[in-house]
Structure 1
Amino acid sequence: MEQRLIQTLAEWLLEAQHTVILTGAGMSTESGLPDFRSNQGLWYGRDPQEIASVYAIKHNREDFVDFYRWRIKEVDKYKPHIGHHLLTRWQRQGLVQRIITQNVDGFHHQAESHDVIELHGSLRELYCMDCGHRTEAKRYLQEKGEVCPQCGGFLRPDIVLFGEMLDTQAIETAFAEARQAELFIVLGSSLQVSPANMLPMEAKEAGAKLAIVNLHDTLLDPQADLLIEGKVGEVLQKTDEWLNRKRNFGMV
């Protein structure tokens, strides 16, 4: 990992008046969570349409509940990594203005970041499809935890399922933030899923600098102003160290 690239990212963070972060699955896998499509991934040997869709709620509810009970239990085994906590620190220092995430694990909230736009919802909460009552996700781990305590209706995770549209307000806010950005940083996303993969170009076309940090190639690598290949946590830690050195020498 070239020090020059780290220094550039740090300098851009200091210069930008409005920095927006987009995090993807690579951010979560560094905490230990499985990805989606590898041989050890979430969907390996499973059909998401059968267990994680609107269809599953209507026609395969028992398997739906079992699957999300397992997912909630799995997420609870892991914690935010150094990268999540550094983004929170940078928010408090005024270096980052908004975080947008494709992830549903809630790790940004656990790391106490604020005003996070969760494009695909969150496994942190359940809500009743009948009365709208909300409760914490750990209720699913109880026997009959899918039954609403208020009305007896069906509790489901507050995430976007296969066959559902993303929340309109979340999408509109994310695109508004992208257009306002002076610096847009992609962390751990292959940028294959729409409409999240449109946000970086929305920012760039509005005049922002685009930085991408990922272990593997992304579809927008040719459009990036700065491309760093590496683990998100390590890159952010090295960037933070550079920022601290500059502060200690009175250069900030």
Structure 2
Amino acid sequence: MKHIVVLTGAGMSAESGIKTFRDADGLWEGHDVMEVATPEGFKRNPELVLNFYNERRKQLKEVEPNQAHKDLAALENNYKVSIITQNVDDLHERTGSSNVIHLHGELRKIRSSGYENDIRTWSEDIHLGDTCEKGHQLRPHIVWFGEAVPMIDTAVEICQQADILVIIGTSMQVYPAAGLLDFAPTQTPIYYIDPKPAIGSSGKVTVIVKSATEGMKELLALL
């Protein structure tokens, strides 16, 4: 059974109504990303940051997976599929994808600000003063700018095993995620779906200049 490895970015979830700051001049839902997506921002104004992610968590309950999510999940009927996503939503899981690696964390998890491995599932608000058993403030389980990406080594290993690599809805500008395609075996074909692709077609890269849902239709026909 061939192994398809899929790298997904914000464009994957855009058609479900989840916004990306990269489409809005550095603003994410009206906020400067440096204020809501950095450790420094959290130190300066933890209540602002907690409230920001509380709103994102509420938004997640109001959106649904789109057809592209469903098509990826259906690929598991004929292929081994590994999804490596930069997205912090759970839309891949909600469509039945069984092997999802979140590079940048997950909205529906929290962790202790003092013990990074103290991670737990969480679907409600986090308030200032909510602490772990050892007294440290709870924070979103999100990899902020300037923080290490704990799952990157796992993602590299998965890419090295790819028979087919698919990239969907990513600007190819956020590292280390953007460098993952370089770890695919030299003979592995790469399909890149994005309405504004950052790279062009080449010998091994087929660019599909479409949205995630339309691009997945074309990819399924090619496969």
Fold in common (TM above 0.5): yes
Partner of 1:5: none
Q: 1:41: how far off?
A: 7.3
1:209 aligns with 2:189: yes
Report percent identity of matched pairs: 33
Contact 2:21 2:27 in 1 (8 A): yes
In 2 relative to 1, CA 115–145 (structure 1 residues): closer, same or farther, beyond 3 Å?
farther
Counterpart for residue 14 of structure 2: 29
Query: How much does 1:231 deviate?
Result: 1.5
Matched, 1:236 2:216: yes
Match of 1:74 among 56, 59, 62: 59
Q: Secondary structure at the match of 2:180?
A: helix
Q: Secondary structure at the match of 1:158?
A: strand
In the alignment, the residues of structure 1 paired with residue 164 and residue 121 of structure 2 have an alpha-carbon distance, to the nearest angstrom, of 36
Q: 1:108 to 1:60 in 2, by over 3 A?
A: same
Gaps of 5+ in 2: none
State the alpha-carbon separation in 2 of the partners of residues 39 and 75 from structure 1: 20
In structure 2, the residue matched to 1:107 is 91
Is the aligned partner of 1:165 residue 2:145?
no
RMSD across aligned positions (CA): 2.6
Provide the rounded CA distance (Å) in 1 between the counterparts of 2:202 and 2:59: 36
Out of 32, 45, 51, the residue aligned to residue 47 of structure 1 is 32
Q: Normalising to structure 1: TM-score of the pair?
A: 0.77
1:183 to 153, 158, 164: 164
- Where structure 1 has 5 or more consecutive residues not aligned to the other structure, the ranges are 1-15, 247-252
The structure with more radius of gyration: 1
Cα contact 1:20–1:184 (8 A) shared by 2: yes
1:114 is displaced (CA, Å) by 1.4
1:87 alignment partner, one of 72, 85, 93 = 72
User: Number of residue pairs matched?
Assistant: 221
Aligned mates of 2:110, 2:69 — CA distance in 1 = 23
**Equivalent residue number for residue 130 of structure 2:** 147
Give the number of the structure whose residues are more often strand, by fraction: 2
Any idea what SS the aligned residue of 1:37 has? helix
Residue type of the alignment partner of 2:120: R
Q: Which deviates further from its counterpart, 94-103 or 221-230?
A: 221-230
Q: Please give the alpha-carbon distance, in whole angstroms, between the structure 2 residues aligned to 1:25 and 1:113.
A: 17
